[in-house]
Amino acid sequence: MTKVRWGLLSTANINKRLIPAIRASERGELVAVASRRQAAADTYAAEWGIPQAFGSYGAMLASGEVDVVYIGLPNHLHADWTVRALEHGLHVLCEKPFALTLADVDRMADAARDNGRVLAEAFMYRHHPQTKAVGEWLRAGRLGAISLFRGTFSFTLTDHRNVRLIPEWGGGSLWDIGVYPISFAQYVMGGPPEWVFGDQRRGGAGVDVAFSGTLHYADGAMAQISSAFDVPWYTHVDVLGERGRLVLNRPFTGLVGGQRRLTFIDAQDNAEEVPVEEQELYSGEVEDMHDAVLDGRPPYLGLDETRNHVRTVLALYESARRGERVFVEEISD
């Protein structure tokens, strides 16, 4: 195999981001889309110039025409369709949040291992050179000991029928966008927190329209994360160490409406722009999948990391429910 054949499992909105990234690569090609209705698949395939259209997800999995499936389904469907694709011998790139329980994360990981296939979570920002530059600064010790991480992601959700507002489908701002600062905090701190404290504001639909969490690490470092559906678009990250801080003005999104900047501010408040190579936001996760499938390299974002941030989300929701801190180790399924 010299090129990976991609199939889109659903006509999800998010496909629009992945399609150009696949098409820009020399190691992949987009060959198929599946939808729950044949007419929808046909219309979508015609609109996007995709060669094959399947009228059910199962038909695409059984077709023998695709190597990698991209799962952009509503959150509660990620686990079942990932496992089904793996059992058909296909590799899977599954959207965030990967799964809504630890039992599902484990079921998905087991299916990947048992079928000898690649499985990765689609956290596109983790592959971007700007995120990797933060890791290089930390490894080089340029910030000194890390004391505090602050990360936030919000946007205004106006569509009252959006799947992000359905509680039993994994709705809520924390599952949808709070997972980004949680995952970034884990990347910076090198692992999950020891305990968390969560607070949420619920909307009429019953899901958190705003969430705020404190994450406490074994060495005393702390992270503050927040997410919201009821304020205008905003993303931001600060990594604070004893020698200064790194500031990311748009850590989780593309360049629409502004320039991505990574700034170092030292102890004397001098600011230095850190040059970062620009890269299309979704191409890193696509190329990583190509490397894993074609060259046998482990995915850059391992399933242990995925399991740990899902566990942290579950601990935060549990804490918000109980109104007290929750040790992440308490969360077992």
Distance CA(20)–CA(31), nearest Å, equals 13
Stretch that binds ligand NAP, among 7-15, 104-112, 187-195, 216-224 (CB under 6 A): 7-15
Cα angle 72, 40, 161; round to 5 = 60
Distance CA(248)–CA(147), nearest Å, equals 17
Distance CA(66)–CA(1), nearest Å, equals 12
| DSSP-derived secondary structure letter, 168 | G
For the segment 117-136, give every residue that binds ligand NAP (CB under 6 A): 122, 124
Is position 132 annotated as part of the catalytic site? no
Please identify which residue in 4, 5, 6, 10 interacts with ligand NAP, judged by CB under 6 A: 10
| DSSP-derived secondary structure letter, 169 | G
- Whether residue 251 is preceded by a cis peptide bond, meaning omega within 30 degrees of 0, is no
Nearer to ligand NAP, 73 or 215 (CB): 73
Instruction: Work out whether 99 is an interface residue with ligand NAP (CB under 6 A).
Output: no
Q: CA distances (Å), 14 to each of 22, 175, 228, in order?
A: 13, 16, 19
Tokens of 212: 């705020």
Instruction: Work out whether 96 is an interface residue with ligand NAP (CB under 6 A).
Output: yes
Instruction: Work out whether 72 is an interface residue with ligand NAP (CB under 6 A).
Output: yes
Cα angle 268, 270, 271; round to 5 = 145
Please identify which residue in 52, 75, 283, 308 interacts with ligand NAP, judged by CB under 6 A: 75
Residue 145 CB, shortest distance to ligand NAP, in Å, is: 32
Q: Which of 3, 16, 96, 132 is catalytic?
A: 96
Instruction: Work out whether 73 is an interface residue with ligand NAP (CB under 6 A).
Output: yes
For the segment 133-172, give every residue that binds ligand NAP (CB under 6 A): 163
Write out the residues near ligand NAP by the rule CB under 6 A: 10-14, 17, 35-36, 40, 72-75, 77, 95-96, 122, 124, 163, 176
